[in-house]
Structure 1
């Protein structure tokens, strides 16, 4: 089968479409004929080796973790699925920008409901489940205020909508060009990260500080500055680790990897299918332009998700 492959930790422009053995479904797994796959920032880090000390991969490595497609084979103990099932999944080991991939039965695999096409389905798993887990970890409640830094990216796409659905007041970072977009996702206010300090702009909107800061951009000590937008005793949540203690009794909450609950992915898929959750596709690429998709994802600003269509039939 054809797959998008990195043969070692290498620059992004060194990856290529290459022949790889077709995988087989093992115990608790299903084999999926890939219809579409989506890219995430982690995919880039796994290609270059930027996270090899924390998230090493074996080579040759097939790029991609998000997928939508059709089950063609069911392994032992993979109860609940059958050939022909339309599914979407997150595959932590990678391998989705390929003609076939394997997915493990559990919270990271779900049936794709009618009304949700494969391209939009592939754009949900990693970003959508990460957003769910971040909001759950920080205990965001109705009537609380939330600043989302990185609102135009994949996780931000879902975090803004899910927080709004919870009843929170969302303030989102966005350039002037993207302000209308994030308001369309549900943000009550925007702050232009290109026009001035995000913390200062946020405190003008919420003088006492927001209840929760969700930072999807900064890491390390940079999160200490971000935390200044939170009220005393507020919370900061991030998928990128930072200081163990923050000033003014702001509580940091970090999740290095998301741990979805059973039903999370199904819920996101059904919300998308019935129109309660917007899935923004910033760009679509055919399989033969998968290398271009990676390059553009790394080098261009894109709203929402980049999707690669592997089998358009």
Structure 2
């Protein structure tokens, strides 16, 4: 089969479409014929080795972790999935920018609703489940206020919508060009991070500070700086690492990798199929243009998800 491959830790422009053996389903695994795959920032870090301290990889590495497609083989012990089933899921380092991939039934794999196409389905798993886990980890509730930093990225677009669905007041970072779109997703206010200080502008909107800061951009001491936007005793949640002490009683919550609960992915897919969750496709590429897709994802500001379709 053909796949987008890194042969070692390497620059992104050295990725190639190469021939690899078609995977077989082991016990408790299914093989999926890929129809679409989406990119995430971690994919870039795995290729270059920027994340090798936390996520060492074996080579050749197939790029991509989000997939939508059709089951073509079910291994021993698999129940609930059979050849012909339409699915979406997160396959980790099994790789998804390929003609076939291997997935493990469980919380990270779900049946795809009939009215959810493969391109939009592939854009959901990692970003959508990360957003769910972030809001769950910090215990966001209705009536609270939340600042989402990185609101126009893959995770951020879901975080804004899911926080709004919880009846929280959402303040989101966005450029002037994206402000109307983000408000259409449920943000009550936006802060232009290119033109103003995010913390200062947030405190103008909520003088005592927001209850929760969801930061999808900063890490390390950068999180201590944005924690000033939280009220004393508030919470900050991030998928990146940061200080244990943020001052003023602000509680830090860090999730290094998302751990979804059973039904999370099914719920996201159902919401998307019913129109209750908007899935933004920022750019769509053919399989033959996969190397360019990675380059553009790394180098351009793209609102929403980058998806590669596989014939």
Normalised-by-shorter TM-score class? over 0.9
> 1:74-110, CA deviations, whole angstroms, 9 ceiling, x for partnerless residues?
0011111110000001012241000000000100000
SS at structure 1 position matched to 2:93: coil
Q: Distance in 1 between matches of 2:88 and 2:175?
A: 32
SS at structure 2 position matched to 1:248: coil
Q: Distance in 2 between matches of 1:203 and 1:94?
A: 44
Q: Distance in 1 between matches of 2:177 and 2:85?
A: 40
> 1:109-165, CA deviations, whole angstroms, 9 ceiling, x for partnerless residues?
000001100000000000000000000000000000000000000000100000000
Match of 1:55 in 2: 55
Match of 2:27 in 1: 27
Match of 1:223 in 2: 223
**1:83-122 equivalence runs, <5 A:** 83-122=83-122
SS at structure 2 position matched to 1:73: strand
Query: CA-atom RMSD, angstroms?
Result: 0.5
2:74 is the counterpart of 1:77:
no
2:147 is the counterpart of 1:157:
no
Q: Is the 8 A contact 2:149 2:215 kept in 1?
A: yes
Flag as ranges the 4+ runs of structure 1 deviating above 3 A. Answer: none
How many residues matched?
Answer: 311
2:261 is the counterpart of 1:255:
no
Match of 1:210 in 2: 210
Calculate the TM-score normalised by the size of structure 1. 0.99
Q: Distance in 2 between matches of 1:246 and 1:2?
A: 47
Q: Distance in 1 between matches of 2:103 and 2:215?
A: 30
Q: Distance in 2 between matches of 1:282 and 1:95?
A: 21
Q: Is the 8 A contact 2:94 2:102 kept in 1?
A: no
Q: Distance in 1 between matches of 2:225 and 2:94?
A: 34
Any gaps of 5 or more consecutive residues in structure 1? Answer: none
> 1:46-85, CA deviations, whole angstroms, 9 ceiling, x for partnerless residues?
0000011110110010000000000000001111111000
Q: Distance in 2 between matches of 1:221 and 1:25?
A: 44
Match of 1:193 in 2: 193
2:2 is the counterpart of 1:2:
yes
Q: Distance in 2 between matches of 1:263 and 1:51?
A: 29
Match of 2:178 in 1: 178
SS at structure 2 position matched to 1:237: strand
> 1:206-257, CA deviations, whole angstroms, 9 ceiling, x for partnerless residues?
0000000000000001000010000000000000010011110000000000
Q: Distance in 2 between matches of 1:113 and 1:76?
A: 25
Match of 2:236 in 1: 236
Any gaps of 5 or more consecutive residues in structure 2? Answer: none
Match of 2:294 in 1: 294
SS at structure 1 position matched to 2:92: coil
SS at structure 1 position matched to 2:69: strand
SS at structure 2 position matched to 1:93: helix
Q: Is the 8 A contact 2:235 2:252 kept in 1?
A: yes
Q: Distance in 2 between matches of 1:207 and 1:85?
A: 51
Q: Distance in 1 between matches of 2:237 and 2:283?
A: 28
SS at structure 2 position matched to 1:271: helix
Match of 1:269 in 2: 269
Match of 1:148 in 2: 148
2:306 is the counterpart of 1:280:
no
Alpha-carbon shift at residue 205 of structure 1 (Å): 0.3
